[in-house]
């Protein structure tokens, strides 16, 4: 016969089972506690209590209870790892999962989720592929959706892994396919997929009877991704409109708000600074560090530094850059640019150049950009010598055509032709030693032009010989070589000139060519046109028509006729009727009879006496006495702000505008 205690436990377990099936986890938790109070070593009751706490999102309590009861929690590897995962401890959760020698399906799925959180996408891809291959149940669509999200991140990271193409039966799969296309920089195709995913999402949720708010909440994620795709295509106005509409909807997802705000600020740049400053506050909400990827967190942190730069908060900008550099060392190069820009704004261009020169980029191209930025700052200060020193110490990048051209220009600006010549020689030597020969013709031609301008035709001839060796059929190079040899070796110049093609001058008028504009200057031509033709010259002299001015034929304006005019009925109107009277042929200027003209009219002010005109005629004024020093001192005119308006005596009636 069973004891009352055993009967009580049986009834409690029945209640516990009932509450668990109905989802009444609060009551199930109370029942499990009653069982454990009566019998502390009940394994099933302990397990039910942990599950109830997890279902109630009391992960901290569940984890502490597991930790305190090591004997009963020995088999609860999944529950322990899940609590660690939900408490944002993915590294500890992965260790807990890996401690199990044989992983079940649910442990494999949890491991895949942990690897995704840790951004170990290749390992996560392998786990999901193994689960899908060896499992058949009702969760196949969910696993395939998660796998497509992993593939999208692999494309973004530029992985060379052989990635499969998945089906597109749900809007989540279509959305992840669009993300994959964005990772491959196929933005037009991605835009089409995102619009398709939005349409499918609305239709599917409306069929399931979801409310309008739930539909908009789900669609907002797709639309923000669509705005990002438009943003990358350069359609910033459309993207900004979508970001603004998404933020006005006030979504509950803080990660969505942060991403939309950050991207909106990226479009604003240094415009609408106050609006951007307000939006950047939403990118630093609590809990975001666990909902965003490291790439997203880096971009937001960098934009926060740029926001301080745009708002001219110099000290805060420098401090923020130092903090971000400690969190993300791979952003050192970008942060150095921000710090250098802030220093340059404060008038410390040389300090900014020093910061950029010492900055270590994550790649050779990034290091080169840092050096070139420092050179630009030094040149803005007029320090060409230091700029040349940096350009000469760029390693193999020094011999790139653009760098060589910049160095030659800077050396010539300082009249250092020897330094410019040395740069060109070193560049040619480097290309001859390197595996990539490149196109040396441009360098040889620059060297030849430089030495010809420097008065060194013998060195220029050597460069032209090398250039001619690379391109033997170039007549231009041969002609330049002849000109160079003519200055120090006429015999060799004569021998080379025989290789040049003969000039066909038959049928050409030599006199006309000599008097043409390309020989004589414009001033000579003008003088020649003014010289009259000598009496003995004949009108048909060659080139005579080039020296004479061609008179432009003035087009005769067609007269306008009134609309009701009928030809033949009335006489033709005067063709000069549109001209002013003084321009018409029959105009005669009116003659004034000077006999009746008063000689005093026009002298002096109106109404003055006749004798007063002598007072105002300065030609009749005799030597006057010198003015006093006080009278000749200049009087300063009042400035615009000192002038006072005349007070109006009467105010006009009327309404004010």
At 479-529, the pLDDT tens digits run 877 887 787 778 877 877 777 777 665 666 767 766 665 544 555 555 555
CA-CA-CA-CA torsion for 317, 321, 327, 328, nearest 10 degrees?
130
Q: CA-CA distance, 108 to 103, in Å (whole number)? A: 6
Q: pLDDT at residue 263 above 90?
A: yes
- Kindly indicate the confidence band of residue 127, based on its pLDDT and cuts at 50, 70 and 90: very high
Q: CA-CA distance, 46 to 32, in Å (whole number)? A: 7
What length does the chain have? 657
Range 418-435 average pLDDT: 76
Q: Which of 236, 205, 240 is nearest to 219 (CA)?
A: 205
- Kindly indicate the confidence band of residue 638, based on its pLDDT and cuts at 50, 70 and 90: very low
At 321-375, the pLDDT tens digits run 999 999 998 888 888 889 998 988 888 888 888 888 877 666 777 888 888 888 8
Tell me how crowded residue 183 is: count the other CB atoms within 10 A of its CB.
18
Six-digit token string for 584? 């018409």
Range 119-132 average pLDDT: 92
Q: CA-CA distance, 78 to 97, in Å (whole number)? A: 7
Q: pLDDT at residue 438 above 60?
A: no
Q: Which of 562, 568, 509, 508 is nearest to 540 (CA)?
A: 509
Beta carbons of 111 and 103 less than 8 angstroms apart: yes
CA-CA-CA-CA torsion for 337, 339, 341, 346, nearest 10 degrees?
-170
Give 149 or 567, the one with higher predicted confidence: 149
Q: Which of 207, 205, 221 is nearest to 254 (CA)?
A: 221
Q: pLDDT at residue 611 above 60?
A: no
Q: What is the pTM of this model?
A: 0.65
Q: What is the pLDDT of residue 541?
A: 46
- Kindly indicate the confidence band of residue 461, based on its pLDDT and cuts at 50, 70 and 90: confident
Alpha carbon of residue 315 to chain centroid:
26
Mean pLDDT of the chain: 78
At 291-329, the pLDDT tens digits run 899 999 999 999 999 999 998 888 999 999 999 999 998
Tokens 């939006």 belong to residue: 279
| Contacts made by residues 443-452, CB under 8 angstroms, sequence distance 24+ | 443/401, 443/404, 444/470, 446/404, 446/405, 446/408, 447/421, 448/480, 448/484, 450/408, 450/412, 450/417, 450/420, 450/421, 450/424, 451/421, 452/480, 452/484
Q: CA-CA distance, 591 to 602, in Å (whole number)? A: 19
For residue 400, what are the contacts with CB-CB under 8 A and spacing of at least 6? none
Share of the chain above pLDDT 70, in %: 75
Q: pLDDT at residue 650 above 60?
A: no
Q: pLDDT at residue 52 above 50?
A: yes
For residue 524, what are the contacts with CB-CB under 8 A and spacing of at least 6? none
On the 0-12 / 13-18 / 19+ scale of CB atoms within 10 A, 384 is middle
Q: What angle do CA 175, 176, 177 make, to 5 degrees?
A: 90
- Kindly indicate the confidence band of residue 645, based on its pLDDT and cuts at 50, 70 and 90: very low
Give 81 or 526, the one with higher predicted confidence: 81
Q: Which of 63, 103, 55, 60 is nearest to 80 (CA)?
A: 63
Range 221-248 average pLDDT: 94
Q: pLDDT at residue 591 above 90?
A: no
């Amino acid at each position: 016969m069973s004891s009352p205690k055993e009967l009580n436990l049986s009834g409690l377990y029945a209640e516990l089972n009932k509450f668990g099936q109905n989802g009444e986890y609060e009551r199930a938790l109370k029942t499990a506690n009653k069982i454990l109070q009566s019998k502390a070593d009940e394994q099933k009751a302990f397990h039910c209590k942990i599950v109830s706490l997890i279902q109630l999102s009391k992960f901290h309590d569940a984890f502490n209870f597991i930790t305190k009861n090591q004997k009963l929690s020995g088999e609860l590897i999944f529950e322990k790892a899940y609590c660690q995962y939900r408490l944002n401890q993915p590294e500890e959760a992965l260790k807990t999962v890996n401690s199990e020698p044989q992983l079940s399906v649910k442990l494999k799925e949890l491991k895949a989720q942990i690897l995704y959180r840790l951004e170990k996408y290749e390992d996560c891809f392998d786990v999901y592929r193994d689960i899908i291959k060896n499992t058949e149940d009702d969760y196949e669509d969910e696993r395939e959706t998660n796998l497509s999200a992993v593939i999208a991140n692999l494309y973004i990271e530029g992985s060379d892994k052989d990635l499969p193409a998945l089906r597109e039966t749900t809007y989540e799969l279509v959305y992840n396919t669009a993300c994959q296309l964005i990772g491959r920089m196929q933005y037009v195709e991605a835009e089409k997929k995102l619009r398709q995913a939005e349409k499918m999402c609305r239709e599917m949720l409306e069929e399931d009877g979801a409310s309008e708010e739930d539909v908009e909440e789900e669609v907002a994620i797709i639309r923000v991704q669509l705005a990002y795709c438009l943003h990358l295509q350069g359609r910033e106005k459309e993207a900004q409109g979508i970001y603004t509409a998404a933020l006005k909807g006030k979504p509950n997802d803080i990660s969505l708000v942060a991403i939309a705000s950050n991207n909106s600020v990226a479009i604003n740049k240094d415009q609408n600074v106050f609006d951007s400053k307000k939006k950047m506050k939403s990118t630093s909400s609590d809990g975001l560090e666990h909902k965003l990827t490291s790439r997203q967190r880096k971009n937001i942190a960098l934009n926060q530094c740029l926001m301080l730069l745009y708002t001219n908060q110099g000290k805060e900008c420098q401090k923020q850059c130092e903090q971000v550099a400690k969190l993300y060392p791979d952003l050192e190069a970008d942060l150095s640019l921000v710090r250098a820009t802030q220093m340059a704004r404060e008038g410390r261009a040389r300090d900014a150049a020093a910061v950029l020169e010492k900055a270590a980029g994550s790649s050779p191209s990034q290091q080169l950009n840092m050096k070139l930025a420092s050179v630009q700052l030094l040149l803005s200060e007029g320090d060409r010598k230091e700029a040349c020193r940096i350009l000469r110490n760029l390693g193999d990048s020094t011999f790139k055509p653009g760098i060589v051209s910049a160095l030659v220009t800077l050396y010539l600006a300082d009249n250092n032709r020897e330094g410019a010549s040395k740069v060109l020689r070193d560049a040619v030597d480097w290309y001859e030693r390197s595996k990539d020969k490149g196109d040396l013709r441009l360098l040889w031609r620059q060297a030849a032009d430089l030495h010809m301008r420097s008065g060194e035709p013998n060195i220029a001839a050597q460069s032209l010989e090398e250039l001619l060796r690379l391109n033997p059929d170039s007549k231009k190079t041969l002609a330049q070589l002849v000109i160079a040899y003519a200055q120090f070796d006429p015999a060799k110049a004569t021998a080379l000139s025989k290789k040049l093609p003969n000039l066909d001058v038959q049928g050409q008028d030599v006199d006309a060519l000599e008097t043409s504009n390309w020989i004589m200057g414009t001033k000579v031509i003008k003088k020649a046109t003014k010289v009259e033709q000598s009496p003995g010259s004949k009108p048909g002299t060659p080139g005579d028509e080039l020296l004479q001015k061609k008179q432009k034929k003035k087009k005769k304006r067609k007269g306008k006729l009134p609309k009701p005019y009928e030809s033949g009925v009335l006489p033709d109107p005067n063709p000069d009727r549109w001209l002013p009277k003084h321009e018409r042929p029959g105009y005669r200027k009116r003659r004034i009879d000077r006999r009746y003209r008063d000689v005093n009219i026009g002298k002096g002010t109106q109404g003055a006496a006749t004798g007063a005109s002598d007072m105002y005629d300065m030609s009749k004024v005799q030597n006057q006495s010198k003015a006093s020093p006080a009278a000749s001192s200049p009087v300063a005119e009042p400035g615009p702000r000192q002038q006072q308006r005349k007070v109006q005596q009467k105010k006009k009636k009327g309404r004010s505008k």
